[in-house]
A = this chain, B = another copy of it.
């Protein structure tokens, strides 16, 4: 089984970190491929960047249509998830979506923990996934991604303090944001609730969907596009919209 780990940022280092995390989580027979968009934001951190990255990501995915068995979106905003799911002939799983759904299977409520000022976008994301009722809180430590990379031990101390606080209301904590990749393994021994990493969860859910062998919807808003005309798109993306 070939699983594409598709970044929506144009930063190669993030792709590489996500591919490594995906390989750690993958079952023996799962091959992990990484891919980075040809254009778009270096690191998505605002609404406008997320909207622009959607096109970049879909162009990237179109190159791999028919060549992979599943796609994991390696971007914690689950950028263009519903569009990718409609466009691609194979299952597509978002990393934050995956962690939130997995967290639901471990208890009653989960929390999302991130850094900087990203609370509102994750609250909206959880709501869009229909999981607001299962989410006890979205919280952020005050450090930015840059600060967390410069001072990982300081960031870990802040994260641990936040996890202790969140575990009063939540049975599991989703760590969201590329800068927190791998933090689950470091912090889990000191936490009283399970910590979820989006890439690991997304790889396992992608493997599950491939194993279940379910068809793609052929009707409704997630059916593959057909006969759609466009201008100025990459040939692969234009071909997918055209269908046939």
A interface vs B, CB < 8 Å? 10, 25, 27, 38-43, 45-52, 54-56, 58, 80, 82-87, 91, 93, 97, 101-102, 104-109, 117, 120-121, 124, 128-134, 167-172, 188, 192-196, 200-201, 204-205, 207-209, 211-212, 214-222, 225, 228-233, 237, 240-241
Contact = CB atoms under 8 A, between A and B. Distances in A.
B105 A49 contact: no
A49 B225 contact: yes
A222 B192 contact: no
A206 to B, nearest CB: 9
Nearest to A211: B204
16 contacts: A39-B231, A41-B228, A41-B229, A45-B228, A46-B225, A47-B82, A49-B230, A52-B54, A52-B58, A52-B233, A55-B55, A171-B220, A188-B214, A192-B218, A200-B212, A207-B208
